[in-house]
């Protein structure tokens, strides 16, 4: 048996992957390895990435068993959760080289000190060349293949001459990367007003947008110096509880909605989202806070609280079978009346049959039983008008009873109206 055959992996055996965080931006990546045991303590490793040889830190040390990561990459991605921007959290793939030694860690510390000097040199060159850019930080890779310099600028900058001068100075590959203000805070930020390290520096990798609506909903002060972080923008923590605040806000009535309290009626002037209190102003101008469970939202038709929906709108009352039958009957009568009007407009005069006993049997002009007698034009029009009036009165009577039962008024409650019967001839 050759050495290649002895070291070959059996078919069907899963690849051993190691989750490692590396770089100044704290990038996460999967790295294939052949180690049988992974230390359960804080351990650094030398890895090979697309940028070169780097020093990273192993993530989830207690999640390894016989060198295998217990969770699959799909489960890890589900743990971090989907991002609104559609960007994956784990973006890098590479290979594991070896576990880092004390000499490797000391070498990395020397490279970090040299990166500070390299950033100052780059800043000096930018001033000499009058380039509109601000140097934020520099990163010297462990293998020495590349120096990455991070900068901010309001627009695009032509830094080709700057790259040439830096490459001539350090005899290595130079990479300049433009970043935003939030990424700048991730690199140089330390502690926030809450006493904790900046979230973007500690664990946040996908910076989702934050807007002023979240600050207003959480009743936070609108002072920019208090709601802004190191980056000068709204704090990322405003987004953490936004879904909870929205859910609690939907349960509360809106302002100027008439409500009933144990001490009488009034209208809502303010609400407290977290405590679920409603501030109600009575008719005499007195204001008092009431828990949400002790108030009942009213409208012009005084709908009970059990039939009040979100925002104080009344829910649709149930329709009984009898009301449905009456509605169908009214629609049928209106349809018959409309059909007769249509025939009348088409100059077609329907005929009617005589009764079994004529009112004037001696009259020779009267028709015999079973014969059709044409009606006059005036008689037909009068009968059509009578039928239309009767059908319209029944329809109006039913609609008044249907819409106003239990003294409820649909236009005032904002609820959906039942579709009125459509006239076929219209």
Residue 2 lies in a domain: no
pLDDT recorded at residue 68: 86
Residue 356 lies in a domain: no
Same domain assignment for residues 93 and 48: yes
pLDDT recorded at residue 389: 60
Distance CA 76, CA 83 (A): 14
pLDDT band at 374 (very low <50, low <70, confident <90, very high): very low
pLDDT at residue 188 greater than cutoff 60? yes
252 or 418: which leads in pLDDT: 252
Same domain assignment for residues 168 and 128: yes
Same domain assignment for residues 116 and 164: yes
Same domain assignment for residues 327 and 425: yes
CA-nearest of 289, 49, 73, 280 to 148 is 49
Same domain assignment for residues 260 and 230: no
Among 14-23, 362-371, 412-421, the range with the most confident prediction by mean pLDDT is 14-23
The CATH number covering residue 144 comes to: 3.30.300
pLDDT band at 137 (very low <50, low <70, confident <90, very high): very high
Same domain assignment for residues 222 and 280: no
pLDDT recorded at residue 233: 87
Distance CA 276, CA 71 (A): 41
Distance CA 357, CA 371 (A): 12
pLDDT recorded at residue 90: 81
Distance CA 90, CA 59 (A): 12
Task: Evaluate whether 280 touches 291 at the Cβ level (below 8 Å).
Answer: no
319 or 272: which leads in pLDDT: 272
pLDDT band at 58 (very low <50, low <70, confident <90, very high): very high
**Out of 19-23, 48-52, 321-325, 367-371, least confident range:** 367-371
Q: What is the mean pLDDT of residues 298-327?
A: 49
Q: What is the pLDDT of residues 202-235, one digit of tens each?
A: 878 777 888 888 988 887 678 888 888 888 888 8
127 or 88: which leads in pLDDT: 127
Same domain assignment for residues 278 and 337: no
pLDDT band at 200 (very low <50, low <70, confident <90, very high): confident
Same domain assignment for residues 229 and 271: no
Residue 364 lies in a domain: no
pLDDT recorded at residue 320: 52
pLDDT at residue 292 greater than cutoff 70? yes
Strand segments, DSSP code E, in 232-294 are 258-261, 264-272, 277-282, 287-291
Strand segments, DSSP code E, in 263-345 are 264-272, 277-282, 287-291, 296-297
pLDDT at residue 38 greater than cutoff 80? yes
Phi (first) and psi of residue 92, to 5 degrees: -110, 145
Residue 292 lies in a domain: yes
Q: Please enumerate in sequence order all residues whose Cβ is within 8 A of that of 396, keeping only pairs 6 or more positions apart, or say none.
A: none
pLDDT recorded at residue 317: 46
Q: What is the pLDDT of residues 232-290, one digit of tens each?
A: 888 888 888 898 999 999 999 988 889 988 888 898 998 989 889 999 998 888 898 89
Same domain assignment for residues 282 and 305: yes
CB atoms < 10 A from the CB of 53, how many?
Answer: 15
DSSP-based three-state secondary structure for 69:
strand
Which percentage of the chain shows pLDDT scores above 70?
A: 65
What is the span of the domain harbouring residue 162? 105-179
CA-nearest of 299, 293, 328, 327 to 315 is 299
Number of domains in the chain: 5
């Amino acid at each position: 048996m050759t050495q290649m055959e002895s070291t070959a992996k059996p078919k069907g055996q899963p690849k051993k992957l190691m989750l490692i965080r590396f770089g100044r931006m704290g990038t996460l990546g999967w790295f294939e390895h052949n180690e049988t045991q992974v230390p359960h303590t804080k351990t650094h490793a030398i890895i090979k990435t697309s940028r070169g040889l780097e020093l990273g830190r192993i993530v989830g040390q207690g999640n390894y068993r016989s060198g295998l990561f217990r969770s699959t990459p799909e489960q890890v991605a589900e743990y971090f959760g989907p991002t609104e921007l559609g960007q994956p959290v784990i973006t890098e793939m590479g290979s594991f080289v070896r576990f880092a030694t004390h000499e490797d860690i000391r070498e990395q510390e020397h490279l970090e000190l040299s990166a500070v000097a390299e950033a100052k040199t780059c800043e000096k060159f930018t001033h000499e060349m009058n380039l509109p850019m601000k140097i934020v930080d520099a990163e010297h890779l462990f293998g020495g293949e590349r120096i990455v310099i991070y900068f901010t600028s309001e627009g695009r900058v032509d830094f080709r001459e700057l790259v040439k001068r830096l490459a001539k100075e350090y005899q290595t590959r130079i990479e300049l990367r433009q970043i935003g203000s939030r990424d700048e805070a991730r690199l140089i930020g330390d502690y926030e007003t809450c006493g904790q390290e900046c979230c973007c520096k500690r664990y946040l990798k996908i910076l989702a947008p934050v807007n002023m609506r979240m600050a207003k909903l959480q009743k936070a002060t609108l002072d920019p110096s208090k709601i802004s972080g190191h980056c000068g923008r709204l704090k990322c923590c405003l987004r953490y509880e936004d879904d909870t605040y929205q859910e609690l806000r939907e349960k509360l009535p809106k302002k100027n909605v008439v409500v009933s309290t144990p001490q009488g009626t009034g209208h809502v002037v303010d609400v407290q989202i977290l405590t679920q209190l409603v501030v109600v102003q009575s008719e005499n101008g007195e204001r008092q806070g009431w828990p949400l469970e002790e108030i009942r939202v009213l409208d012009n038709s005084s709908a009970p609280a059990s039939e009040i929906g979100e925002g104080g709108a009344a829910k649709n009352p149930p329709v009984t079978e009898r009301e449905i039958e009456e509605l169908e009957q009214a629609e049928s009568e209106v349809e018959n009346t409309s059909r007769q009007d249509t025939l009348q407009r088409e100059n077609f005069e329907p005929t009617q049959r005589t009764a079994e006993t004529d009112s004037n049997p001696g009259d020779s002009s009267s028709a015999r039983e079973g014969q059709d007698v044409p009606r006059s034009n005036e008689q037909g029009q009068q009968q059509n008008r009578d039928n239309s009036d009767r059908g319209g009165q029944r329809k109006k009577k039913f609609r008044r009873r249907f819409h106003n039962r239990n003294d409820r008024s649909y236009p005032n409650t904002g609820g959906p109206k039942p579709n009125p019967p459509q006239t076929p001839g219209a």
